[in-house]
Amino acid sequence: MTRVRFLRPDGTLDREVDAPAGTNLLDLAQANGQPLEGSCEGAMACSTCHVIVAKEDFERLPPASEEEDDLLDLAAHVTRTSRLACQLTLTADLETLTVRMPGAAYHLDR
């Protein structure tokens, strides 16, 4: 199991959930009420699944592909630790991965 902490755009904790290794981060976020859109099944067709990864966790992730970087350029509120949630798969060494919802996504749903 890997614990994931979902933060609101203001940095406060929304919820912590445990998920088995192999779980896709976007699927987990959507199943836990996070305001992310997107359903590309890994084919990369949007930038609405954008999350901001905690700085200390960002370095533990495999690097983004060129295609992912290109799509992130289209996302709102991008930071240096932004990633597309659909491209992230939980692994045991990502224990306590912390991701923050970007402001634009937050306002879509709340």
Which one among 40, 64, 72, 104 touches ligand FES, defined by CB under 6 A? 40
* Cβ(94)–Cβ(2) below 8 Å: yes
Which one among 19, 75, 86, 88 touches ligand FES, defined by CB under 6 A? 86
We find the least distance from the C-beta atom of residue 87 to ligand FES, in angstroms, to be 7
d(CA 97, CA 47): 20
Residue closer to ligand FES by CB (options 23, 48) is: 48
Task: State the DSSP H helix or E strand holding residue 38, giving kind and residue range, or none if neither.
Answer: none
We find the least distance from the C-beta atom of residue 110 to ligand FES, in angstroms, to be 20
Residue closer to ligand FES by CB (options 86, 105) is: 86
Alpha carbon 103 to its chain's center: 13
Instruction: Establish if 84 lies at the interface with ligand FES (CB under 6 A).
Output: yes
* Cβ(51)–Cβ(61) below 8 Å: no
Instruction: Establish if 102 lies at the interface with ligand FES (CB under 6 A).
Output: no
Contacts of 53 (CB under 8 A, 6+ apart): 61, 81, 82, 83, 97, 98, 99, 100
Which parts of 16-35 interact with ligand FES (CB under 6 A)? 26
* Binding site residues, ligand FES, CB under 6 A: 26, 38-40, 44-46, 48-49, 71, 84, 86
